[in-house]
Amino acid sequence: MKLEDLKIVVSGGAQGMGRHFAVRLAEAGAQVAVGDVNEVGLAETLEAGKAVQGKGKIHVRRLDVADEADVASFVAWAHGAMGGLNGLVNNAGILRDGLLVKKDRETGAVKTLTKAQWDAVIGVNLTGATLLARDVVAKMVETNTRPGVVVNISSIARHGNRGQSNYTAAKAALASNTVTWSREFASFGIRVGAVAPGMIETPMTQGMNQKARDALVANIPVGRIGLPEDIWVAVKFVLECDYFNGRTIDVDGGLSM
């Protein structure tokens, strides 16, 4: 698809990669509906969109992807605001890291990953992404819109990463459902692809423990942390390449977690 023909939803667009995707899409001429729970960040994304020299436009509204009713309402709003809907970048995600079982070296106390930590990450990163894909695609089918495209943002953590049982489970499932959905939506003329970032410079990674962050960066063969633009290049490819479908692209500088 041509970027200028897109009327596309970007979730988690109040900061980081989501904001970068939204601005680059608007710059290319797309209509972009951006959702996030961070309303201050949404306002900043809207202003960033106004500053670009392009024919596109950014529309913003609060969105909690883990809330089924809110997702349905957002998709209806996005369709109306943009005068149609033919794409989705499924980007919203959170971290609630922790070892599944941990023993304190000093006290010997055993600590475990809480159900609240598990539920929060699965709720946003998997259930939320699934609800949004479902409702966006349903709207496309209902309005006989084709072609269409969905880009899921997975992670290289899907291969397994210490201290991220919840995040790994969600991102692995999202990569697997990229295949499932590509097969289910093919008859509707809708493609589904995924991009799996490695270590990327975002507010999420900036909040990491510095020692852990430095250790990860030291293991990246290209010698640096990734930038949102690096991931945008891959997202752009998935959006534009009409023969790409049902696959996940790792963009990680060669990092093995």
Report residue 257 as tokens: 């977690």
Backbone phi, then psi, for 62, in 5-degree steps? -60, 140
Q: Which helix (H) or strand (E) holds 33?
A: strand 31-36
Looking only at the bridges linking them, the beta strands covering 148-153 and 87-90 are parallel
Q: How far apart are CA 75 and CA 160, in angstroms?
A: 32
Residue of 24, 63, 86, 167 with catalytic role: 167
Q: Which residues contact 191 (CB under 8 A, 6 or more apart)?
A: 147, 148, 149, 150, 182, 185, 242, 244, 245
Distance CA 50, CA 57 (A): 8
Our answer to whether residue 243 is catalytic in this structure is no
C-alpha 172/C-alpha 155 separation (Å) is: 8
| Whole-angstrom distance, CA of residue 88 vs CA of residue 79 | 12
DSSP symbols for 176-197? HHHHHHHHHHGGGTEEEEEEEE
The two three-digit tokens of residue 202, written as one number: 């975002």
Annotated active-site positions, please?
167
